[in-house]
Chain A
Amino acid sequence: GAGVSQSPSNKVTEKGKDVELRCDPISGHTALYWYRQSLGQGLEFLIYFQGNSAPDKSGLPSDRFSAERTGGSVSTLTIQRTQQEDSAVYLCASSLGGTGGNEQFFGPGTRLTVL
């Protein structure tokens, strides 16, 4: 069966431009998560969706970052007016139900480079 997919796999953009990153979770997974991983660093939580609602968006670094999920499936992470410090790998994960007792399946990530 298909795993979590993300697109694009790589994105190079200029400072100040907006970018959209897409995540397709595993079919039937109600929970979806976005993380950011800078080079050689750990996984930084950004936002968590349960269905289409986001009970926890505490990790979004600034109001330039937003995310939505539609139809309980695909999610889009949007970064407006990108800055060089936004450069990182953005990982999406999905799980059956809530995180506490369910494993997360990660996508391959989108590597974002802001010049």
Chain B
Amino acid sequence: QQPVQSPQAVILREGEDAVINCSSSKALYSVHWYRQKHGEAPVFLMILLKGGEQKGHEKISASFNEKKQQSSLYLTASQLSYSGTYFCGTAGGTASKLTFGTGTRLQVTL
């Protein structure tokens, strides 16, 4: 089952904040976040694991509510370079595949 992301798209002015949400109907072991710029491959941002461990870039902030099977990615003081499509990927176990959401398109303008 594909996780649901919201919003589908958002436009920000540089310096504004945004929250991207990811929701799953299944119990999760981990949530992964990736950003993809147009014509490029997805790039890793963060992993949030059941039990509270997180791995990722220092400037990225995210949360994982295991009980609700939801995760949120927090983008603060946005920069032009934040523009792209953000995907969450969910895994049900340590050796499970990642199932990606439909993506959230973020555009940061001057």
Given contacts A101-B30, A101-B53, 20 further A-B contacts (CB under 8 A): A41-B102, A42-B87, A42-B102, A43-B100, A45-B98, A56-B96, A56-B97, A59-B97, A98-B93, A99-B91, A99-B94, A99-B97, A100-B96, A101-B55, A101-B94, A103-B47, A104-B98, A105-B44, A106-B34, A106-B43
Residue of B nearest to A59 (CB): B97
Q: Is the CB of A98 within 8 A of B32?
A: no
Residues of B within 8 A of A58 (CB): 97
How many A-B contacts at CB < 8 Å in the complex?
71
Residues of B within 8 A of A104 (CB): 32, 34, 44, 98
Alpha-carbon gap, A50 to B95, bound state (A) = 9
For the complex, is A25 an interface residue (Cβ under 8 Å from B)? no
Q: Is the CB of B98 within 8 A of A106?
A: no
How many whole Å from B39's CB to the nearest CB in chain A? 9
Q: Is the CB of A100 within 8 A of B95?
A: yes
| 3 nearest A-B residue pairs (beta carbon) | A100-B94, A106-B41, A98-B95
How many whole Å from B104's CB to the nearest CB in chain A? 10
Which residues A30-58 have CB closer than 8 A to chain B? 33, 35, 41-45, 48, 50, 55-56, 58
How many whole Å from A102's CB to the nearest CB in chain B? 8
